[in-house]
Amino acid sequence: MKNIRNFCIIAHIDHGKSTLADRLLEYTKTISARDAQAQLLDNMDLERERGITIKSHAIQMEYKVAGENYIFNLIDTPGHVDFSYEVSRSIAACEGALLIVDASQGIQAQTISNLYLALEHDLHIIPILNKMDLPGAMPEEVKDQIVDLIGCDRDEIIPASGKTGLGVDKIIEAIVERIPAPVGEPDGPLQALIFDSVFNSFRGIIAYFKVLNGEIRKNDKVKFVATGKEYIADEVGTLKLNQEPKSVIKTGDVGYIISGIKEAREVKVGDTITKVDNPGEAIIGFEEVKPMVFAGIYPVDTEDFEELREAMHKLQLNDASIVFEPESSAALGFGFRCGFLGMLHMEIIQERLEREFGMTVITTVPNVSYKAYMTKGKEEIIVNNPSDLPDPSKLDLIEEPYIKANIITKADFVGPVLSLCIQKRGTIVNQSYLTSDRVELVFEMPMGEIVFDFYDKLKTISKGYASFDYHQIGYRQSDLVRMDIRLNGDPVDALSSLIHRSNAYNFGKKICEKLKELLPRQQFEIAIQASIGAKVIARETVKAMRKDVTAKCYGGDISRKRKLLEKQKEGKKRMRQVGSVEIPQSAFMAVLKLD
Amino acid sequence: MAGIYIHIPFCKKACYYCDFHFSTNWKVKDELIDSLEKELELQKSYLNGETIETIYFGGGTPSVLKGEEINRLLDKINKLHHVTKDAEITLEANPDDLDAVKIKEIRQTAINRFSIGIQSFFDEDLQWMNRAHNAGEAKSSIMRAQDAGFENITCDLIYGYPLLTNKKWKENIQTLIDLEIPHISSYSMTVEPQTALATFIRKKQQPAMNEEQSAEQFLMLMAELEKNGFLHYEISNFGKEGWLSKHNSNYWFGKKYLGIGPSAHSFNGESRQWNIANNYKYIDTLANGKVPFEQELLSPIQRLNEYVMTSLRTMWGLDLEKVKNNFGEEYSEELLHTATQFIEKQWVKHEEQKLFLSDTGKLYADHIASELFIG
């Protein structure tokens, strides 16, 4: 155990985490440069394209220093706030962390919040100044930031470059020297922390764990504490480039277990693996991952509902964090109300449905999860869907989730960032200068406000120089309303949204304007109304079609014209009818991207 | 009975709204005419020996051809096909080309019908369109053609563009009536993609076309011409009894036609094909003894939909009996069923197993056809 080093990497997107990790793997001869796919740790296509690690992974390296064999377990962490719980569990499995900071960009919000998490878990931090090869590197300035942040000595910071390989030897040395070996009771009852799981279509769910106490052997009868389920450990092993079966994984080490589990939801990150016949206690810190953002997902073609259901089930097999239940909409037919960890997660699911299952879907206006309390009996109702919102007359009060948001930006952009956050109903709780030019702003704001277009706006107003991170801080009372959209008096359920009263007028106006643009002119006039209850708050009109194009039609026109009219007919077939009005799919999608 | 279309892809200048295939580079004009002759030879069997009842020179601007060039092409056609004695032989012409010499030249050929691209009798409108002629030439060219003995003349007029007030529109129509022109083709200004006009509108240098105005001027056109004894025999075509265009009518009756020249379309009853829309490639390919075309085979449903689209536009209407006999009863029934909503709105009339567009219905011809499409 004394020669095991468990560590993770904390870095902002694009600060070079994956490239530097690859250098470590090469240096320890875990892989050769030749068979390294660029950035090995990110092995989902989607991850590689987006340049971020969505799901965490782990890999074991062996290295000999001064005649001693060391085992390094690198536990990779996802780089996005949507997956912060998984990050916290990965961190909990480590004794040390490499803090990678881009020498040309400095510390970002994401880095800070993960760093705090690591410090909370008493991880030893090895600060690394990466991308030293870049002409724009400002090592002295960024070193100042790091020293301020973690209170280390200046010379503890290792200059490095994933590209040139600079500093890799120093990092290896620091891992051995500075990161403490894990501690635990080899003879105690088994307690292994699950920090990740992956889906394999042949072997089922493979859980990754770190043994805190005791040991786990092949064919052990094990129990997952939170789910209460028992399995036989069909295979245990360590995570090399490929899985390497072992007969035992001992205290302090990191490994995997295959036990014939078919569904991802049986393996919960943060859960404890123990033995049936000498059970240990649950490791503290387990939480059920709760979806934060909800939206309807509907097949573009109503006939594809069953196919969509199957695709969703398959997705859930390897991503237990999505939840869904059937819902139906008068406008869109049958679909699912889905819960996601956040907006990125929602986008990823949408993209995976498209890429892996060829399913194009319509997503409805997303909302967060609200709590409604009834006047009668103070009954609490969870509202994940605009249609769940009880009649206002029977409501005592509604609460909405709040977040604490950390934003780090250049001093120049403090003004615009402040006004954006205030516009989003945020209140500032702290403002501190990290350096003379970099400011950290801390806000409390409703989570519902970041669901729409917060990231995009923040990026725009800060010209890309703002990083953002948040965590939930509980529920607060809110003046929430349901805004409905009516076309010629008929409500279009798929366009309803839950929104704070103060935003309703503006949002309603924008939706009406957008719909006016997107609804094709029909044989009659269409009134578009946004309303709260019976009160109309915005209105637009699409005039009746006065004339269709009736251009010439001679010998050379017939083919083209026929195709045009066929296309028109085809497009109409795919429109959804509400009352007498036909709505193109683009209208349902476009309300997600107003402005 | 079949028709031959010959495309002459040259113009003096580019009208801002036009998306036909043409070039303002005349360097290859001679070569191109040679190629047209070659194509006529290569395609001599396309119509299966059917008698030719109409020939149409379209463009571009066919009036850039000299009389002898027209004769060369017509001689070639006569050598390869049987052409009826009373064949309708039309030449599209721009007013600026129709000087006394040119008219005299054409009078020596077998051309017996002129289609003159008048568009408007107002200078500012013609300039706005970037036409090559002016208002004076518009009128004088017609009179010269008539003086030379051409009776069968059709003129084009465009409506529904911002400059055209209702007063001017009425005057344009009246001028043609006064000149005793027996046939008029009239089109609503359509903004085709990739035209100069489309660019101007996108860049907000020009206002978009106004649907209301266009509808109103179309209704004016119908009223004025009907009052003056014209038959509204197709959405865009009006003619006095006996002066309807045979060549164009045959397109709507689904007859066969052979199109010669770059971008020209042909139809043999089962498939449509169209030549490459590039003068150089057209010439080069024919130099190698091949016709550069693409082809599509029509399924029965596509043929039916084409029939629906074209027949509805005509005064002869969509014949449900014919649909029943040629395509099957389920289709004639489906058509009638779909048409019910339009019959109720009085956009479509249902008479003697035929469907016709009402005057209001004519405003929505595309919409109605698309709705009636099978599939």
Q: What is the pLDDT of residues A478-495, one digit of tens each?
A: 999 999 999 999 999 889
Q: Is the dihedral of CA A570, A574, A577, A583 positive or negative?
A: negative
pLDDT of residue B89: 98
Q: Is residue A166 part of a domain?
A: yes
**Alpha carbon distance A106, A571 (integer Å):** 50
Q: Residue B236: enclosing H or E segment and its boundaries? A: none
A131 is in an annotated binding site: yes
**Alpha carbon distance B330, B301 (integer Å):** 12
What's B330's domain CATH number? 1.10.10
Q: What angle do CA A346, A51, A78 make, to 5 degrees?
A: 60
Point out which residues pair with A96 in neighbouring strands.
A7, A124
Put simply, whether B310 touches A (Cβ < 8 Å) is: yes
- Residues of chain A positioned with their CB less than 8 A from the CB of B309: 553, 558, 561-562, 565
Interface test with B, best of A547, A559, A569 (most B CBs within 10 A): A547
- Are B274 and A566 a contacting pair at CB < 8 A? no
pLDDT of residue A50: 46
Measured between CA atoms, the residue of chain A closest to residue B296 is: A559
B358, amino acid identity: S
Q: Is residue B206 part of a domain?
A: yes
- Residues of chain A positioned with their CB less than 8 A from the CB of B345: 523
Residues A163, A106: one domain? yes
Residues B210, B142: one domain? yes
Report residue B208 as tokens.
């978009």
Q: Is residue B17 part of a domain?
A: yes
- Are A549 and B375 a contacting pair at CB < 8 A? no
**Alpha carbon distance B233, B253 (integer Å):** 12
Point out which residues pair with A60 in neighbouring strands.
A73
Tens of pLDDT, residues A110-128: 788 788 889 889 999 999 9
Cβ pair A86, A196 in contact under 8 A? yes
Residues B120-149 as b/e (b if ≥16 CB within 10 A, e otherwise) read bbbeebbebbebbbbbebbbbbbebbbeee
Cβ pair A475, A399 in contact under 8 A? yes
pLDDT of residue A51: 42
**Alpha carbon distance B165, B161 (integer Å):** 9
What's A59's domain CATH number? 3.40.50.300
Q: What is the DSSP string of A95-156?
A: SEEEEEEETTT---HHHHHHHHHHHHTTPEEEEEEE-TTSTT--HHHHHHHHHHHH---GGG
Which of B252, B284, B312 lies at the terminal end of a domain, its last residue? Answer: B252
Q: Is residue B285 part of a domain?
A: no
- Residues of chain A positioned with their CB less than 8 A from the CB of B363: 546-548, 550
**Structurally, how many domains does chain B consist of?**
2
A18 is in an annotated binding site: yes
What's A428's domain CATH number? 3.30.70.240
**What SS3 class is residue A74?**
strand
Residues A331, A381: one domain? no
Put simply, whether B253 touches A (Cβ < 8 Å) is: no
| Helix (H), strand (E), coil (C) string for A451-518 | HCCHHHHHHHHCCCCEEEEEEEEEEEEECEEEEEEEECCEECHHHCEEEEHHHHHHHHHHHHHHHHHH
**Alpha carbon distance B172, B164 (integer Å):** 10
Cβ pair A59, A5 in contact under 8 A? no
Structural domain for A417, as ranges:
370-478
Measured between CA atoms, the residue of chain A closest to residue B21 is: A556
What is the Cα B128 distance to its own chain's centre? 22
Residues A501, A449: one domain? no
Which of B187, B190, B264 comes nearest A556 by C-beta? B264
pLDDT of residue A56: 42
Point out which residues pair with A216 in neighbouring strands.
A249
Which of A346, A364, A382 lies at the terminal end of a domain, its last residue? Answer: A364
**Alpha carbon distance A528, A97 (integer Å):** 55
Plot region of B95 (φ>0 → left; ψ -120 to 50 → alpha; else → beta): alpha
Burial class (CB in 10 A: 0-12, 13-18, 19+), A589: middle
| Helix (H), strand (E), coil (C) string for A24-61 | HHHHCCCCCCCCCCCCCCCCCHHHHHHCCCCCCCEEEE
Structural domain for B244, as ranges:
2-252
pLDDT of residue A99: 93
**Structurally, how many domains does chain A consist of?**
5
- Residues of chain B positioned with their CB less than 8 A from the CB of A524: none
Residue B99 has pLDDT above 80, yes or no: yes
Residues A223, A305: one domain? no
Residues A223, A135: one domain? no
**Average pLDDT across chain A, whole number:** 87
Which of A364, A380, A408 lies at the terminal end of a domain, its last residue? Answer: A364
Residues B211, B320: one domain? no
Cβ pair A180, A4 in contact under 8 A? no
- Residues of chain B positioned with their CB less than 8 A from the CB of A577: none
Measured between CA atoms, the residue of chain A closest to residue B249 is: A554
Point out which residues pair with A443 in neighbouring strands.
A405, A428
What's A504's domain CATH number? 3.30.70.2570
From A368, A428, A439, select the one nearest A404 (Cα to Cα): A428
What is the Cα A212 distance to its own chain's centre? 28
From B24, B34, B98, B86, select the one nearest B59 (Cα to Cα): B24
What's A199's domain CATH number? 2.40.30.10
Measured between CA atoms, the residue of chain B closest to residue A570 is: B375
**What SS3 class is residue B264?**
coil
Report residue B21 as tokens.
């295939």
Out of A365-369, B172-176, B300-304, least confident range: A365-369
Report residue A296 as tokens.
């309807």
Put simply, whether B293 touches A (Cβ < 8 Å) is: no
Tens of pLDDT, residues B7-42: 999 999 999 999 999 999 999 999 999 999 999 999
- Residues of chain B positioned with their CB less than 8 A from the CB of A551: 187-188, 190, 236
Q: How many CA atoms lie within 13 A of A31 on its CB side?
A: 20
Residues B216, B305: one domain? no
- Residues of chain A positioned with their CB less than 8 A from the CB of B195: none
**Alpha carbon distance B297, B269 (integer Å):** 10
Residues A409, A428: one domain? yes
pTM for this prediction: 0.69
B261, amino acid identity: G
Cβ pair A532, A482 in contact under 8 A? yes
pLDDT of residue A572: 83
Q: Is residue B27 part of a domain?
A: yes
Q: Is residue A280 part of a domain?
A: no
Residues A249, A310: one domain? no
Q: DSSP assignment, residue B247?
A: H
Tell me the CA end-to-end span of chain B in Å, nearest whole number: 31
Residues B70, B215: one domain? yes
Which of A523, A552, A562 comes nearest B309 by C-beta? A562
Q: DSSP assignment, residue B23?
A: B
**Alpha carbon distance B10, B60 (integer Å):** 5
Residues A16, A99: one domain? yes
Q: How many CA atoms lie within 13 A of A75 on its CB side?
A: 29
Cβ pair A36, A42 in contact under 8 A? no
**Alpha carbon distance A371, A386 (integer Å):** 12
Residues in contact with B166: Cβ distance below 8 Å, sequence separation at least 6, in sequence order = B216, B217, B220
Which of A245, A275, A305 lies at the terminal end of a domain, its last residue? Answer: A275
Answer whether the bond into residue B229 is a cis peptide, omega within 30°: no
Q: Is residue A214 part of a domain?
A: yes
Cβ pairs bridging A and B (under 8 Å): 100
Residues A320, A378: one domain? no
Q: Which residue has the tokens 């012409």?
A: B93
Mean pLDDT per 10-residue segment, chain A (595 residues): 92 78 86 56 51 58 90 83 81 94 85 84 94 90 88 92 90 95 95 89 89 96 94 93 90 94 86 94 85 90 91 82 89 92 86 88 89 89 90 90 91 93 93 85 93 80 81 91 93 90 91 91 92 94 85 90 91 83 83 69
Q: How many CA atoms lie within 13 A of B345 on its CB side?
A: 16
Report residue B290 as tokens.
């091949």
Tell me the CA end-to-end span of chain A in Å, nearest whole number: 57
* Residues present in chain A in total: 595
pLDDT band at B218 (very low <50, low <70, confident <90, very high): very high
Q: How many CA atoms lie within 13 A of B227 on its CB side?
A: 10
Q: Is residue A387 part of a domain?
A: yes
Rounded average pLDDT over B206-226: 95
What sections of chain B are H helices per DSSP? 29-42, 67-80, 100-107, 123-129, 135-147, 166-178, 196-202, 211-227, 246-252, 279-287, 300-312, 320-326, 329-344, 359-362, 365-372
| Helix (H), strand (E), coil (C) string for A343-406 | HHHHHHHHHHHHHHHCCCEEECCCEECEEEEECCCCCEEEECCHHHCCCHHHEEEEEEEEEEEE
**Alpha carbon distance A389, A395 (integer Å):** 9
**Alpha carbon distance A216, A209 (integer Å):** 10
Interface of A with B (CB under 8 A): 523, 545-556, 558-559, 561-562, 564-566, 568-569, 572
- Are A565 and B370 a contacting pair at CB < 8 A? yes
- Are A566 and B305 a contacting pair at CB < 8 A? yes
**What SS3 class is residue A422?**
helix
Put simply, whether B331 touches A (Cβ < 8 Å) is: no
pLDDT of residue A46: 53
